Copies of this chain bind each other. A is one copy, B any other.
Amino acid sequence: MPKNVVLAQSGGPTCVINNSLRGLIDYCRAHPQTFGAIYAGNFGIEGVLKEELIDLGATSPEEIALLRTSPAAGGIGTCRYKLKKGQDEDYNRVVDVFKAHNVGYFFYIGGNDSQDTAHKVSLLAHERGLDLVAVGVPKTIDNDLGDSKFELLDHSPGYGSAARYIASYVRQANEENAGSCPADPVLVIQAMGRKIGFIPAAARLADPERKTPLQIYLAESGVTLERLGENVVRSLESAGRCLVVVSEGFDVGEIGAARDNFGHVQFSASQTTVCQTVVNYLNTLKFPVPGKARGQVPGTDQRNAIAYASAVDLDEAYAVGRYAAELARAGRSGSMATILRDRTTSAYCVRYDAVPLERVANSERTFPDEWISADRIDVTDAYLEYARPLIGDDWVSVPLVDGLPRFARIVKKFAPKKLGEYVPQTYREKK
């Protein structure tokens, strides 16, 4: 007897997250003897808690196919609600909902926390006599999932497209910066990835031969704002211009804070971006050329601009979704589907495998320090070798209607509710 499926997304979306969803759906639909109805949590695990289960059977195969090039999570939604240790009521509620809807398979597409949640749900389900297969699907633009040796996961689906975005962005910004001096000699670009530098690092892909005056400041670089200023002035002296890619997690430190005492703008994380702080600081310095520093914040565009999606990333996101469903069919509860790179060849070659959710949840990836250059404002060629294949070669073909991308429309038909109302635990605690 087939059992029903619940899948859910968690955290910030990516350009390719819907493609993992599509992989899961395609595989499950192809195996109706194993998988029954396919439900999606409306806005992730929150939808599961609220028993808002989107019946994906109501959405046509054509719309499911369009998920390939539909970025972000406009279809089934995602959330930042986390099931942490000790949220027993929430965990119990999830199991109640699964029991009520004859759910035998749970897929959670997300980062570290999500893999941990998937693991705990599977344990509790077993305790409470529900035969549940829980499988994780990796996702994050930050590429912080897995371990620092890339043994649990080579790279997260979503990262390749974010990397391609920043590389393209910098390549284009350089055309403007090179052609617009001396009016706007310094452009500061704020890149995502608060704690980990994989996204700003990808700026180097825009110029692997290091011909443009590009400086890259990871959160991990350990460079001060003062030093950043010195570096920029030096670049203005030698090249007349400078492109500065700065992580949103770059520590602006004492200089940014100190300016308060002189009655100037107050820099706080919540009210001023790192980009603005850097721009304002640079504009207090004496430049050796005319003109000012300007800044821009591409923001969430980094994870939803489908024009820059990496075809490699799209294909892998799909494949790892399918593979997760394959693992579930084989009863491999407690695993995350993963992407591993064959390191015995210089040809880019990946395979899909399973790793225990528990190991993923307890591991942490940092940006390899040996990939940061000696001057701390660049990355090494070893990083470029790692990242180059991930951005792919061609632009993806995206279905357009009236000149704009046509994204999948998921029909929000909910499965009939069988349980009473439930307010998620964290919500109640806030009151």
A-side residues, CB < 8 A to B, are: 12-13, 43, 70-80, 164, 167-169, 171-176, 178-184, 187, 205-206, 208, 265-266, 268, 270-273, 276, 280, 283, 294-301, 303-308, 310, 388, 391-395, 398, 400, 402-405, 407
Q: Are A301 and B299 in contact (CB-based, < 8 A)?
A: no
Residues of B within 8 A of A394 (CB): 400, 403
A276 pairs with B271, CB closer than 8 A: yes
CB <8 Å contact, A265 and B271? yes
On whether the beta carbons of B175 and A404 are closer than 8 Å, the reply is: no
Give the chain B neighbours of A180 by CB distance below 8 A.
12-13, 72-73, 77-79
When distances are taken between beta carbons in the complex, the residues of chain B under 8 Å from A276 are 271-273, 276
| A11 vs B43: C-alpha distance when bound (angstroms) | 45
B168 touches A405 (CB 8 A): yes
Contacting A388 at CB < 8 Å: which of B75, B176, B305, B402? B402
Q: What's the number of copies of this chain in the assembled complex?
A: 2
Once the chains are docked, how many angstroms separate the CA of A188 from the CA of B297?
12
Chain B's closest residue to A70 (CB) is: B175
User: Beyond A271-B280, A307-B168, A404-B206, is A296–B299 a contact (Cβ under 8 Å)?
Assistant: yes
CB distance from A269 to the nearest CB of B (A): 12
Tell whether, in the assembled complex, residue A76 and residue B179 are in contact, meaning their CB atoms are under 8 Å apart. yes
Question: In the complex, are the beta carbons of B72 and A205 less than 8 A apart?
Answer: no
Among B169, B265, B273, B407, the residue within 8 A (CB) of A265 is B265
Given A265-B266, A276-B272: A395 and B400 interface contact (C-beta under 8 Å): yes
Which residues of the other chain, B, contact A400 by a CB distance below 8 angstroms?
Answer: 393-395
Residue of A183, A306, A402, A404 ringed by the most chain B CB atoms within 10 A: A404
A176 pairs with B77, CB closer than 8 A: no
A172-B405 in contact given A271-B276, A272-B265, A294-B299 (Cβ < 8 Å): yes
Instruction: Tell me the complex Cα distance, A168–B398, Å.
Output: 12
What is the distance, in angstroms, from A283's C-beta to the closest C-beta of chain B?
8
Q: Say which residue of B176, B187, B304 sits within 8 Å of A303 (CB atoms).
A: B176
- In the complex the two chains form, what is the Cα distance from A140 to B390 in whole Å? 36
How far apart sit A179 and B180, CA to CA, in the bound complex (Å)? 38
Residues of B within 8 A of A404 (CB): 164, 167-168, 171, 205-206, 391
The smallest beta-carbon distance between A292 and chain B, in angstroms, is 9
Q: Which of B76, B176, B301, B395 lies in contact with A73, CB distance below 8 A?
A: B176
Among A43, A80, A283, A300, max chain B CB count under 10 A is at: A300
Residues of B within 8 A of A70 (CB): 175
Q: Shortest Cβ distance from A128 into chain B, in angstroms?
A: 29
A-B contacts, 20 of them at CB < 8 A, read: A43-B182, A71-B175, A72-B180, A73-B180, A78-B179, A79-B180, A168-B307, A168-B404, A169-B301, A172-B304, A173-B304, A176-B304, A205-B404, A266-B266, A272-B276, A295-B297, A295-B299, A297-B299, A298-B298, A391-B403
User: Chain B residues near A181 (CB, 8 Å)?
Assistant: 43, 77
A307–B12 CA distance with the chains assembled, in angstroms:
24
A389 to B315 alpha-carbon distance, docked (Å): 33
Please pick, from B43, B75, B305, the residue contacting A172 in the complex, using a CB distance under 8 A. B305
